[in-house]
Every structure is written in structure tokens, then in C-alpha cells.
Amino acid sequence: MKMLKPLILLLVLCISLTLPSCQRDVGRTPVISSFNAEPTSISANGKSILTWEVSGASRVSIEPGIGDVAESGRREVTPNTTTIYTLLATGASGSTARATVQVTVEGSPAGGVSPSPGAPQVVEFWAKPSNITIGESASLIWNVQNAASITIEPGIGSVNLQGARLVSPGSTTTYTLTATNAAGSTSNTTQVVVSGRASSGAGLPVINYFRASPTSITAGGSTTLSWDVSNATSIGISSTSGNNVWMRGVSASGSQEIRGLSTTTTLRLTASNPAGETTASATVTVSGISAQPLPIGKPDLVITEVDLVDKPDGNTGLRYTIKNQGNAAAGASITKLYYKPPQQDYTYFASDSVPPIGAGVSVTREFPDFRLWRYSRLHVDTTQVVDENNESNNVSDVDCTSDLGPFILTKAQNMKWQTGPPLADIAFGGNCDSDSKGCAAYRYDIKMEDGNTYVLALETHPKWVNDGIVEGYTTQPWQIKPHSIIKGTAGLIQGASNGSVVFEILIRPEGGNELVLYTVSDRYDSNCKDFQVIIPASYLGRNCYFGARVRANGASTQDWATWVNLALRYFTVSLHE
């Protein structure tokens, strides 16, 4: 009986104090007891046996090249090059545990192993899943240390030290990650195997072909576009450079003659469905171009410039310049703004009444609400009330692009993290399930309260005290650029039924005071909070630090507060050349 007293006392303390360490479901994280390779070094064409033992997992997978497996087992592997295998165990609540083991192939390039002292180390680089059906997507996941630059090819380019990226290859593709620093470079590869044909409603659209014939013509000649597309609900063709071409609602398979091209033109086919969109391009080279004089006595309206406007109400406007480049005045007209969601064709959004414009005169107009769409379109004189000498140049496609600032989820490990009260430094990482000091750590394949599973997330658990805090700040200042915004999603991990927190986005200029840019309270309500915050114009050009903070509302019980897709971006818009 004496031996039971400490256990009874601990149970009483847990009930009376409602400590998170007692209430948190410590069983929600799977346990990897072992993950081994035997032997760990093989010759070319040799074999190694992977063995593993996992408990408390609803799903276990091994990548690259294996996929879902049982909680315990063994698997023979015959890698062609040195390979790092990653075991990922996922619990019913969405929590994950992972382990890695390396099989070295003698005489082969060592993926993830530094070829020279001080060179980068590829901790992991794999695809999930590694086998897909054509039209489906896979996630490339990587973690690199000690690198100045990292690229993934084909088709991705520069990336951060750690992250994930969706890919939808049309055929089996080997992706190569190359990490470089002053000491040298390290490469690793992973393969996404693509098989079968897309079924109706499954995955992204597939463009079987899109071509122009002939691809070279003389000015004023014609070419024929032909295409064949599978698994698309919407298909459109438009020009991205050269003469204006705009075809919407085209059939899944067909052809169309294009006449009267006067300059080299690139055409883009966009196929969409609810899963997203796929594009393909074809270029027609036009020779023998000669300038033709404008007809006498007619106006000609064109868009010459676009720019973004940050509004006091937090919205972003689109400013555009319309010029009458003809030799006669143009009467009043209407300009319409269209936007293109990823899975749809261009959709009407707003209209602007343009006053009369004299010959050779430019006027600047504005749409006060512009949603930073990746693709949008301006159509001047949409009602064609102005008799112009050229009616084919009234449509201008607008590209809205963005670059990342330093405050992004994949660089959270470089931030300075503290918990309190009183505030004290903590190391990034650790175990948010058991560390009473609080925690900031990456979570993989985590299911949030809205029921969605995210490949990469940042869990920030306040210190396990009433009104506990956890916060992280960037360690280097960044000069605020025009049209800078912070976007992301905040919420609780699924199962945090007693969670109640306040999320805050922070900015602090050098030598200045902290400002809370955004704040939102979240209780476990099956809804995550999407946010977009425009950095005030008063900070433009100033060097600033950025932070993320989570406050517990009272007790920090089950405050599994998590950030997804958090990123500082600055935007620019431009016309298609």
C-alpha cells in the first residue's frame, strides 16, 4: 500500500491543479522503438534489410520508394546510390515521430553525406508518396544543414534549408537537391514514379499535347493550334506575349486556326479542375514584320502600366494607366477587371468608368479592391462604344508575383524563442508534448482542428502556467519593401478540445517599440483562422524585426497552438510583355 501512495498523490495533484503535463494526451505521439539497416554499407547491386518497431501509430510509412508499412516489419532494399531512408509514424491525432537510417553504397555518390569537410549535409530528402498516378501530386520534403544555397531540379529552383513542395510530374521524375557552401556541395536525389492515366475527377488536369503548326510564319500568316487534355473542367488559351489571343471554354480536344499574327507570339493553354491547374505553352515565330501607319482619325486605347496601392483600410488596390495612342479623341468607356482562381477560367470582378481621353493622352485609374490574384486581366472599352483603329489590343493580362522576406515558417529554427512568464530563452525543437517550459518545434503531416492535414507546421506551446507565453523574433532586421504583407493560418491541433489561446503577429523597428500587427483568439471550434496583414506604409524603408507570439487564455491546458503557411511576402504587378 505504501508504494501506491506516491501514485495516488500524483493523481490527486493532477486533478486538483489541472496541469497540462497531466491532462495532455502523451499517448498521442507514436513511439519508434527501433529503425535499423543491416548491413549499413553494401557494394553496388548489394542488399540491405530494413527493420523497424513502432507503437501507438495509425499509419507508418518509409521513404523513398517503400510507402505505407505495418507497425513492425522488415524490408529488403537494393539502392543504387547511398540513400537515407526516413520512417514516419503518424498517430490518430495527427502527431508524428520520425527516424532515419542510411545505407551506404560503396563507390556511389553519398546522398546526405558531406563529400568534403565542412560541406553541407542533407539530413533528409524524400517524396511522399513516391508512387502516384498521372494527374496526382506528391510532396518533396527536405532538411539541409550548413548550406548557403539550395536548389531542387527539375522545375523548382532555389529553396530554403527546410521545407516541402507539391509536385505533379507528368511522368516518372528524379528530383535532385544540390546544397552548396564555400567548402563544397552535396547532392541527393529522390524519385516520384508516375504510372497509369488520370481518371475523371482524380488529381490535376493532364495536357497530353499542345502545339502550333507551323511554328514559324511570315507577318500576317496563319498557324493552327491543336491540343488534347484529360481530366479538366475548364480549358482556355491566351497569349502571354506578342499579339493578343484569348479563347475561353474550348473543348478537351480540338484545333483552331490563328490568323493575322504580326509579331512573335507565345500562347499558353490552361487546364483547370477543382484540384488545381496545369499549363503548357507554344511559341509562333513571326518574321517579315513591318510597321503599318495608323488609320487617320481614330483613337486607340491600351493599358501601358500597372501598380499596386496599399489602402488605409488594409486592402490593396490596382492602379492602371490607360493611354489613347491613336490620333483622335476617345469618348467615355468602361474598363473591366477579371481574376483567375486556380481551378477556374477568368471571372468578372469589377468595372471602372473611364472619362474621355484626348489623342496621345494617358490617364491613371484605380480599382480600389484588388485581391493579389496571381493572374488577372484588364479589358478596356469592354462595351466597344469607342470606334478604334485596333480593337485587338484592348485586353491586357496582369501578373502578380511575390518574393519572400525573412519571416517565414521554414526559417523558424533561426528565430530567437522565449517562453514565460518570466521570459527566458528556449532552444528551437524539443518535445511540445512533455516540455513544461513551453516549446516551438516543427510538426509534420499534422491534422489541425479544421480536419485538414498539413505537411509542415510550426507548433508553439506556451509555458505550462496560467497565462503562459511563447514568442519568437527574427534575429536580423529587414528593410520593409512596398506592398509587404504577412499571410498564414493559425489554429489548434486536432484533439485540443480544451485549448484556448491568442495568436499575435508582431513588428519592431530598430530602436523602436513593438507593435501588434494582428491578433485573434482561438478556442477549439473546428475552424482555423486565415489571416492577411498589410504592413503599414509608415514602416516603408525602415529596418524591422518580426515576431510570432501565442498567449494562453488562463491555464495552458492543451494549448497546441500551431501556425501553417506563415510567410512575409512583398508583391509586384506587371503586364505580360
79-102 confidence digits (pLDDT tens): 877 777 888 887 776 667 777 788
60 falls in which pLDDT band (50, 70, 90)? confident
pLDDT (average), residues 181-189: 84
Mean per-residue pLDDT over the chain, rounded: 81
For 34, the 3-state DSSP assignment is strand
477 falls in which pLDDT band (50, 70, 90)? very high
What integer pLDDT is reported at residue 468 of this predicted model? 94
What integer pLDDT is reported at residue 26 of this predicted model? 40
CATH hierarchy code of domain 301-393: 2.60.40.10
Look up cell 523548382; give the residue.
156
pLDDT (average), residues 296-312: 84
pLDDT (average), residues 508-533: 90
**DSSP class of 126:** E
Predicted confidence (pLDDT) at residue 464 exceeds the cutoff of 70: yes
pLDDT (average), residues 4-23: 39
- H runs (alpha helix) in 18-124: 20-23
Predicted confidence (pLDDT) at residue 44 exceeds the cutoff of 60: yes
What integer pLDDT is reported at residue 93 of this predicted model? 66
Angle at 509 between CA 508 and CA 514, to 5 degrees: 30
197 falls in which pLDDT band (50, 70, 90)? low
CATH 2.60.120.200 positions along the chain are 405-572
Chain centre distance of CA 368: 26
What integer pLDDT is reported at residue 564 of this predicted model? 94
Asked if residue 491 lies in contact with residue 529, where contact means CB atoms within 8 angstroms, the answer is yes
State the Cα–Cα distance between residues 456 and 30, nearest whole angstrom.
17
What integer pLDDT is reported at residue 13 of this predicted model? 38
Of 13 and 193, the structure prediction assigns the larger pLDDT to: 193
State the Cα–Cα distance between residues 425 and 415, nearest whole angstrom.
11
Asked if residue 471 lies in contact with residue 507, where contact means CB atoms within 8 angstroms, the answer is no
> Which superfamily does CATH assign the domain made up of 206-287 to?
Immunoglobulins (2.60.40.10)
200 falls in which pLDDT band (50, 70, 90)? very low
State the Cα–Cα distance between residues 479 and 439, nearest whole angstrom.
29
Predicted confidence (pLDDT) per residue in 204-220, tens digit: 788 887 888 888 888 76
State the Cα–Cα distance between residues 535 and 486, nearest whole angstrom.
8
Look up cell 479538366; give the residue.
232
How many other β-carbons are positioned within 10 Å of the β-carbon of residue 401?
A: 11
- Give the residue from 564, 509, 499, 511 showing the smallest Cα distance to 535: 509
- Give the residue from 566, 539, 561 showing the smallest Cα distance to 550: 561
25 falls in which pLDDT band (50, 70, 90)? very low
Write a three-state SS string for 120-173: CEEEEEEEECCEEECCCCEEEEEEEECCCEEEEECCCEECCCEEEEEECCCCCE
Residue type (1 letter), 103: V
Predicted confidence (pLDDT) at residue 282 exceeds the cutoff of 80: yes
State the Cα–Cα distance between residues 569 and 3, nearest whole angstrom.
59
Predicted confidence (pLDDT) at residue 296 exceeds the cutoff of 70: no
199 falls in which pLDDT band (50, 70, 90)? very low
Q: Which CATH architecture has domain 405-572?
A: Sandwich (2.60)
What integer pLDDT is reported at residue 377 of this predicted model? 92
Percentage of the chain lying above the pLDDT 70 cut:
87
Predicted confidence (pLDDT) per residue in 369-411, tens digit: 888 888 899 999 988 888 888 888 889 999 888 888 888 888 8
Asked if residue 519 lies in contact with residue 547, where contact means CB atoms within 8 angstroms, the answer is no
What integer pLDDT is reported at residue 313 of this predicted model? 63
Contacts of 7 (CB under 8 A, 6+ apart): none
475 falls in which pLDDT band (50, 70, 90)? very high
Q: Which CATH architecture has domain 26-195?
A: Sandwich (2.60)
Q: Kindly report the length of the chain.
A: 577
Angle at 563 between CA 472 and CA 449, to 5 degrees: 145
CATH 2.60.40.10 positions along the chain are 26-195, 206-287, 301-393
For 12, the 3-state DSSP assignment is helix
The radius of gyration of the chain from alpha carbons, rounded to an integer in Å, stands at 28
Of 17 and 536, the structure prediction assigns the larger pLDDT to: 536
Contacts of 56 (CB under 8 A, 6+ apart): 27, 28, 29, 30, 31, 89, 91
What integer pLDDT is reported at residue 277 of this predicted model? 77
- Give the residue from 288, 220, 210 showing the smallest Cα distance to 255: 210
Asked if residue 142 lies in contact with residue 159, where contact means CB atoms within 8 angstroms, the answer is yes
pTM: 0.50
**Which of 261-270, 400-409, 476-485, 528-537 is predicted least confidently?**
261-270
What sign does the dihedral 251-257-261-264 (CA atoms) show? positive
The partner residues of 281 in beta bridges, in order of sequence, read 268
**Which of 146-160, 170-184, 230-244 is predicted least confidently?**
230-244
pLDDT (average), residues 56-75: 84
State the Cα–Cα distance between residues 391 and 394, nearest whole angstrom.
6
Chain centre distance of CA 209: 27
pLDDT (average), residues 287-299: 62
